[in-house]
Structure 1
Amino acid sequence: MAAMALITSSLISCPNPNIHQLKPNLLPRSLKQSLSLRKPERKQLVSRICCSTANKPDFSSTAKIRSEVLSPFRSVRMFFYLAFAASATLGGLIAFTQLIGALSNPSRAVGVLDILKGLGIDLAAVLLFAFLYTRENSAKNAQLEKLSREESLSNLRLRVDEKKVIPVSALRGVARLVILVGPSSFLVESFRRSKPFTEALLDRAVLVVPFATDGDKPDFEFEEDDEPRNKRLWQLTPVYTSEWARWIEEQKKLANVPIDSPVYLSLRMDGRVRGSGVGYPPWNAFVAQLPPMKGMWSGILDGMDGRVL
């Protein structure tokens, strides 16, 4: 047992295990053959064995908890799918042994049809529950990937003013962010198109996050008679732009959108993505779809920001 533990600990450590120190008389024949390989080949073999699981997605505990909250009965369903599939598999094995006995004994040949019927039902049940489990597991992984991307977005930083920098997550329950990505000319034109809806957007707690992909700082020209409140719509600025650029590039690749295309993303009050598109954001649609944060509709329609994409 001590020898096997030594072998296992030596193989599991990915960074260049010192295999030469193992005693040859303690090793099985297959492992001796592996050790007889040349050093480059041995390194490649060990790294392939040890690091085969490195590409598996590693979801954070926060994403897993949020997934459980959003789909509380998924784990129960997956458990029962596995249990029913295991039960059907066991029944199929029993039916298969009975079928072999019936075929080898002519006196029991009368019951072959019933055995085949039961075996077919068991096989169909195994396939059905395996399909249901696979579909549920795929949906779970897709949801976890989406939540992980949203968690990465929530960790990105924004500058509110010269002295205050906050993460995106700090605005959950406070504001509905609209992220604009494109060259400075696209951002300036989006700013111009938003002017007629400034008051209505602010009443709906909409804040814009402009991200210039060409490195130029957009020049938003506010009029002299604009109130300070109206400037709040465009006061947020992304910080650590390399992290923002990496996250945006990943989203474009997932959506099969060209990297240089100007896009917008609309977030719900809870920080989840409610809408996105290529081109200029539909400010009038935001005003029509989002409920105001004040007045008779406040409280009743909180969180009614549309379905999550």
Structure 2
Amino acid sequence: MFFYIAFIASASLGTLIATSQLIGALTNPARASQVPEILKGLGIDIGAVSLFAFLYLRDNKAKNAQEARLSREEFLSNLKLRVTEKKIIPVNSLRGIARLVICAGPASFITESFKRSEPFTESLLDRGVLVVPLVTDGNSPVLEYEEAETETETDEAKQLATRRKRLWQLAPVIISEWSEWLDEQKKLAGVSSESPVYLSLRLDGRVRGSGIGYPPWNAFVAQLPPVKGMWTGLLDGFDGRV
């Protein structure tokens, strides 16, 4: 960007000089033959100013957008989550440990997202996914965990219920701050403030992807590498484009 400014200054100076030469040639019949050559040089200088000004503005816009994104992600990293009744942690405490999926919408949306995640519970947990349900209408979602129907199913049902509770154990704290961050994300994405959305984070805490509607649990399972065994640490951060 420094060189863009230098090129703009140089071309602007050339434009000023060529303009003064053109005025002199137009007012002096003896120099009329120089007009085409002066116009050619003037056109090149104006083109250079326009080109480098465009490149500067484009890169400056990209820089500002990146700074704004980093600022929003820093804000997100400091938001609080309730893990247990007595334990509250900031989002950044889970960097390198969990891939958060934020489900934001009315209670009915959270309830349906919960139901749709059930077939993928084991696979999601193996990939370090934890869900943050952010209710936007003030109601309470219905998160029902399966109970055992027979004695032989008791252990299996309990284990599944435990895994389901672990997947959905996180709860946002200080909802107003979460809502402020979410509204800014929606505004920048051109999404209606009333639309239910999801946002998935990478292991490094950066936003991996987002969309309107229910989280694509099956896509997460297909795209994300496990966080256990030989994959641990090897693919940290390789969760897709930001």
**TM-score bracket, shorter-length normalisation:** 0.7 to 0.9
Are the structure 2 counterparts of residues 109 and 202 from structure 1 closer, same or farther at C-alpha, using a change threshold of 3 Å?
same
Does residue 157 in structure 1 map to residue 80 in structure 2?
A: yes
TM-score in terms of structure 2 length? 0.87
Name the counterpart of 1:173: 96
Aligned length: 231
How far the C-alpha of 1:211 sits from its partner, in A, is 1.3
Gaps of 5+ in 1: 1-77
Distance in 1, matches of 2:177 and 2:94, equals: 19
Structure number with bigger Rg: 1
How far the C-alpha of 1:147 sits from its partner, in A, is 2.1
How far the C-alpha of 1:268 sits from its partner, in A, is 1.4
Gaps of 5+ in 2: 147-156
Does residue 240 in structure 1 map to residue 174 in structure 2?
A: yes
Kept in 1, the 8 Å contact 2:118–2:164? The answer is no
Name the counterpart of 2:2: 79
Please tell me the residue identity of whatever aligns with 2:213. G
Name the counterpart of 2:154: none
Provide Cα deviations, 1:131-163, integer angstroms capped at 9, x if missing partner.
111111111222222222222222211111122
Listed as ranges, the matches of 1:29-48 within 5 Å are none
Listed as ranges, the matches of 1:34-113 within 5 Å are 78-113=1-36
How far the C-alpha of 1:194 sits from its partner, in A, is 1.3
Name the counterpart of 2:223: 289
How far the C-alpha of 1:201 sits from its partner, in A, is 0.7
RMSD across aligned positions (CA): 1.9
Are the structure 2 counterparts of residues 214 and 99 from structure 1 closer, same or farther at C-alpha, using a change threshold of 3 Å?
closer
Name the counterpart of 1:139: 62
Please tell me the residue identity of whatever aligns with 2:86. K
Are the structure 2 counterparts of residues 158 and 115 from structure 1 closer, same or farther at C-alpha, using a change threshold of 3 Å?
same
How far the C-alpha of 1:230 sits from its partner, in A, is 4.6
How far the C-alpha of 1:229 sits from its partner, in A, is 4.8
How far the C-alpha of 1:198 sits from its partner, in A, is 1.1
Distance in 1, matches of 2:228 and 2:192, equals: 39
Are the structure 2 counterparts of residues 97 and 214 from structure 1 closer, same or farther at C-alpha, using a change threshold of 3 Å?
closer
Of 254, 257, 260, 2:191 maps to: 257
SS at match of 1:225: helix
Kept in 1, the 8 Å contact 2:121–2:163? The answer is no
Aligned-residue identity in percent: 71
Distance in 2, matches of 1:116 and 1:248, equals: 54
